[in-house]
A and B are shown apart, each in its own frame.
Chain A
Amino acid sequence: MHEMSLAVAVVEQVDGALRDEPPGTVETVRLQVGELAGVVPDALHFSFTLACEGTVLEGAALHIDTVPGRARCTPCGAEWATGMPPRLHCPDCRSTAAALVAGRELQIVSVHRADHGTVPAPTPASEEN
């Protein structure tokens, strides 16, 4: 189950990226996972929880946005949903020269975090709230 390796990579990258940020709690990690990335989202959720234990991400939730596979024909420009298992020849002109528009993503998009203790000094604009 390579989802465990992927989850560990996510935790390491998020940990590294937040090193220069003020301390805080990571509430959510948002991932994009393409339909053709060869990853089982349920396995990734399970692995993520384990991989977070004992790290700065402990207790964080994983949010996965699934990206449908899309391909485009190079000669005729037609674009189609690949489906799963994918169909990767052009449905219009039958050409085998196509490329993916989307579907292989395995991307850490963003992290939602709550800062600890550090309440920023109110600015004149925020005093109205």
Chain B
Amino acid sequence: MCRVVDLQQAVLAENDRRALTLRTELAARGTTAVNLLSSPGSGKTALLEAELTLARSRGVPVAALTADLATENDARRLGRSGAPVKQILTDGLCHLEAEMLRGHLDGWLPDGTRVLFVENVGNLVCPATYDLGETLRVALCSVTEGEDKPLKYPTAFGLAHLVLVTKSDLADAVGFDESAFRAHVQQINPGVETVLTSTRTGEGAGVLLEHALAAHGNAPAHRPVMARQAPPREHHHTHSHHDGAVHSHS
């Protein structure tokens, strides 16, 4: 005898539930979590070090977790800013999940931390699927990676609340087409802000910190289309015998 058991369960239900809990708990502690996604070698660590240093100089309590295996010295490098920094060893896992993050925060995250930066594992595919309980998700891409990058990784860029272009000082040297890059970002994430940065020239310095500080509680300023679910269509019963054309009433 063969039977069908209806389940209708989201595969990510458990992670999403834990992420929601973590986001709520962090908000209650006054901490905003920022999830940083990029390919290896994008200059994410250098940018984060600069932002941590800036935050310290302004007296903003910040902390950072880094899972980027591309450079094992990330934690030491970020620690030069004076901010509390912890390295997450993922044992080769290609992404962080909410429960892993949770385990690293317990007993470590100092009270009063205003912004917690999470440097996710260095790739733009796997981490994009997992909500970590962050309020702000940032996708980073260096000018050397080319202007098609957002189209190749639509989930990472499509769900971002902020897009940062790094190494802008190299833009001319590598022939980076800024307007094409911006158009590609807008195609998959209309309305998201894209900012050019360079730790060498100081362009865009502080933009990451300012966006994090502006994201209060658990409400980022920008809501990506890809993260919005359309409500069910309203049914106009008076038109139910018509041909199904869309009727709009003003």
Residues of A within 8 A of B (CB): 1-2, 5-6, 9-10, 13-14, 17-18, 21, 24, 27, 31, 36-39, 71-72, 74, 76-79, 84-89, 96-101, 104, 106-115, 118-120
> Which residues in B have some Cβ–Cβ distance to A below 8 Å?
1-15, 93-95, 97, 125-130, 150-152, 154-156, 158, 186-191, 225-226, 228-231, 246, 248
What separation, in Å, do the CA atoms of A9 and B228 have in the docked complex? 24
User: Would B4 and A108 count as touching, CB distance under 8 A?
Assistant: no
Beta-carbon nearest neighbor of A38 in chain B: B155
Quick check: B226 and A5 within 8 Å, CB to CB? no
Query: A71 near B230 (CB under 8 angstroms)?
Result: yes
Provide the bound-state CA to CA distance between A17 and B158, in Å: 33
* B-side contacts of A108, CB under 8 Å: 7-11
Instruction: Give the chain B neighbours of A17 by CB distance below 8 A.
Output: 5, 7, 9
Is A119's CB under 8 angstroms from B1's CB? yes
Q: Given A85-B187, A112-B2, A115-B1, are A38 and B7 neighbors across the interface (CB < 8 Å)?
A: no
Instruction: For A99, give its contact among B13, B127, B191, B229 (CB under 8 Å).
Output: B229
Given A27-B2, A89-B186, A96-B191, A2:B226 Cβ within 8 A: no
Which one of A36, A74, A96, A109 contacts B155 once the chains associate, using CB atoms below 8 Å? A36
The answer to whether B226 and A106 touch across the interface, beta carbons within 8 angstroms, is no
Cα–Cα, bound, A10→B170 (Å): 44
A106 touches B186 (CB 8 A): no
User: Is B187 in contact with A2, judged by CB distance below 8 angstroms?
Assistant: no
* Interface of B (DSSP majority class): mixed
Residues of A within 8 A of B248 (CB): 76-77
CA distance A77 to B125 in the complex (A): 31
Given contacts A9-B11, A88-B188, A89-B186, contact A100 B6 (CB under 8 A): no
In the bound assembly, the distance between CA atoms of A100 and B189 in angstroms comes to 12
Q: Are B230 and A36 closer than 8 Å at their CB atoms?
A: no
Q: Are A9 and B187 in contact (CB under 8 A)?
A: no
User: Which of chain A's residues has its CB closest to B13's CB?
Assistant: A13
Tell me how far the C-beta of A44 lies from the nearest C-beta in chain B, rounded to whole angstroms.
10
Cβ–Cβ < 8 Å partners of A36 in chain B: 154-155, 158, 226
Partner of A2, one of B8, B129, B190: B129
B237 to chain A, nearest CB (A): 17
A84 to B97, CA, bound (A): 26
A residues within 8 A CB of B246?
A: 77-79
Determine how close the nearest CB of chain A comes to the CB of B232; give it in whole angstroms: 9
Q: Which of these, A2, A96, A104, A114, contacts B130 with CB under 8 Å?
A: A2
Give complex CA distance A67, B52 in Å. 42
Closest to A35 in B: B154
8 nearest CB pairs, A to B: A96-B190, A38-B155, A2-B126, A99-B228, A99-B230, A88-B225, A85-B151, A89-B190
A113-B129 contact, Cβ under 8 Å, with A9-B14, A89-B187, A96-B191: no
